[in-house]
Amino acid sequence: MEKERLVCDTSIFTNPNVYTQFGDSPSAAFKNFLLIVSEVEGEVSVYIPTSIYEELKRMIPDLRIPPKARSVLKIKSPKKYELYIPAFLMYEFIEDLRARINKGLRVAEEAVKTAIQKKPEEAIKFLRRRYREVLREGIVDSKEDLELILLALELDGIVVSADQGVLKMADKLGLRFLDPKEIRDTIEGFKSWYSA
């Protein structure tokens, strides 16, 4: 009987600050992550929403599931029509989104002022960088992010992500999650815990 369900995000295999715990490339990290988890098979499984698995295949063209680890990896979409999100979360999301849109407007205004001063290329670089920071960082901003949260909610799984928006929402929903810098140590801890 499996005890823990790790619900994994693309970011743990593509973010160099995280994937280097498992390998020197995203492909090696994915393979090694699964092999380490397979050592505690029956106690720990890895779940990846279908949308995230498809995203991984696009981002890591040589993505391979090692035969030894095939039984621990489960590709599964959340039951979107059966799950409910608390209303307070939607209120907070809308409030946060409105504040971000207002910040984005101020960033755009600043970029226009820079462009008027005859520095259009500098203005475009500034606009792209700052707009992305104020609108996208620290928020669930894709269907893949939402599916990760929903699947973890459905399975009572542990969210495994380096995306701060995902981790923030997981925390608000009372979901368990791993610190991105401690993923390998935690999995190693599962190995020693379940083998004792």
H or E, element range at 4: strand 4-8
- 128 vs 79, residue with greater confidence: 79
Q: Which fold has domain 4-82+143-195?
A: Rossmann fold (3.40.50)
Enter the pTM of the model.
Answer: 0.82
- How many residues make up the chain in this entry? 196
Per-residue pLDDT tens digits for 149-196: 999 999 999 999 999 989 999 999 999 999 999 999 998 888 777 665
**Which range has highest mean pLDDT (7-16, 103-112, 127-136)?**
7-16
Domain chopping of the chain, boundaries: 4-82+143-195, 87-136
Phi then psi for residue 58, to 5 deg, are: -70, -40
Check residue 1 and give its pLDDT: 47
Question: Which own/partner contact pairs does 98-102 have at CB distance under 8 Å and 24+ positions apart?
Answer: 100/134, 100/135, 100/139, 101/135
- Overall average pLDDT of the 128-134 stretch: 75
Check residue 177 and give its pLDDT: 96
C-alpha to C-alpha distance for 14 and 25, rounded to whole angstroms: 8
What CA dihedral angle connects 75, 81, 82 and 87, to 10 degrees? 110
The lowest-confidence range among 125-129, 145-149, 179-183 is 125-129
Per-residue pLDDT tens digits for 9-31: 999 999 999 999 999 999 999 99
Confidence of residue 140 (pLDDT cuts 50, 70, 90): confident
Per-residue pLDDT tens digits for 64-98: 898 888 889 999 999 999 988 888 888 888 888 88
pLDDT at 48 over 50: yes
In this structure, are strands 4-8 and 158-160 parallel, antiparallel, or unpaired? parallel
- 96 vs 134, residue with greater confidence: 96
- 162 vs 103, residue with greater confidence: 162
Q: Which residues pair with 159 in a beta bridge?
A: 7, 177
- 123 vs 86, residue with greater confidence: 86
